[in-house]
Chain A
Amino acid sequence: KNEVEQSPQNLTAQEGEFITINCSYSVGISALHWLQQHPGGGIVSLFMLSSGKKKHGRLIATINIQEKHSSLHITASHPRDSAVYICAVRKETSGSRLTFGEGTQLTVNP
């Protein structure tokens, strides 16, 4: 079993819909990261979380440390949000090393 599990693996939505991507992990962590990878391949760091909630524009990320769970929400989705969203954790025991989920492929149709 992977230490970081994401769901769903694939998600298709209509423009304007509210989107949720989930991430569960099974290890103690010092931080959780959400990354975005566009079709061209570039990777962008969206959020780093160690508790609570963060918001940036239409993106919201939450984390529940007790439940070992994080969610990434996109409000008023747009076709340009189409990308792979990757959850990654920094384990308490592994310094700066990131352990990655398998990613969620999001497609937003106009």
Chain B
Amino acid sequence: DAGVIQSPRHEVTEMGQEVTLRCKPISGHNSLFWYRQTMMRGLELLIYFNNNVPIDDSGMPEDRFSAKMPNASFSTLKIQPSEPRDSAVYFCASRRTGALRGGYTFGSGTRLTVV
């Protein structure tokens, strides 16, 4: 298994531009999570999906952020328009609900820099 695949690994963009981050979860995992990590705030959950349905989006900072999961094998996190304070590492993770081990598998992250 290739694990959770995120793209791009690095993104540098100018303030005001639209940014789209992509995630492919592990096949068979039915929960998908988007996290943001910054020095100031550590790891924060932005949104998570169960069976492609958004369950908890209370961590999405504002309307500039949106996330979709059109099918079980793909999700996007979009920021429009981007701002310098959005600079962070964005992690996607997936999990199979009810699995005995219950562990989360994280992608390698997307390091976003907004200048």
Task: Compute how far the CA of A33 lies from the CA of B35 in the bound complex, rounded to whole angstroms.
Answer: 16
Task: Compute how far the CA of A26 lies from the CA of B18 in the bound complex, rounded to whole angstroms.
Answer: 39
Task: Compute how far the CA of A35 lies from the CA of B35 in the bound complex, rounded to whole angstroms.
Answer: 14
Is A100 a contact of B101 with CB atoms below 8 Å?
A: no
Interface residue? B70 (CB, 8 A): no
Is B106 a contact of A95 with CB atoms below 8 Å?
A: no
Is B42 a contact of A96 with CB atoms below 8 Å?
A: no
Residue of B nearest to A48 (CB): B102
Complex interface bits, B79-115 against A, C-beta within 8 A gives 1, otherwise 0 = 0000000000101010101000111111011010000
Query: Given A41-B109, A43-B91: A100 and B103 within 8 A (CB)?
Result: no
Is B56 a contact of A95 with CB atoms below 8 Å?
A: yes
Is B103 a contact of A96 with CB atoms below 8 Å?
A: no
Complex interface bits, B19-54 against A, C-beta within 8 A gives 1, otherwise 0 = 000000000000101000000001111001010000
Is A86 a contact of B43 with CB atoms below 8 Å?
A: yes
Is B104 a contact of A95 with CB atoms below 8 Å?
A: no
Residue of A nearest to B50 (CB): A96
Is B42 a contact of A102 with CB atoms below 8 Å?
A: yes
Is B111 a contact of A41 with CB atoms below 8 Å?
A: yes
Task: Compute how far the CA of A33 lies from the CA of B103 in the bound complex, rounded to whole angstroms.
Answer: 8
Complex interface bits, A83-104 against B, C-beta within 8 A gives 1, otherwise 0 = 0001010000011111010110
Interface residue? A65 (CB, 8 A): no
Is A100 a contact of B106 with CB atoms below 8 Å?
A: no
Query: Given A86-B43, A103-B42: A45 and B103 within 8 A (CB)?
Result: yes
A-side interface residues toward B, CB under 8 Å?
A: 31, 33, 35, 41-45, 48, 86, 88, 94-98, 100, 102-103
11 A-B Cβ contacts within 8 A? A33-B104, A35-B104, A41-B109, A41-B111, A45-B103, A45-B104, A95-B48, A96-B33, A96-B50, A96-B55, A98-B104
Known: A98-B33, A103-B42. 9 other contacts (CB 8 A): A41-B89, A43-B91, A45-B104, A95-B56, A96-B31, A96-B95, A96-B97, A100-B44, A102-B42
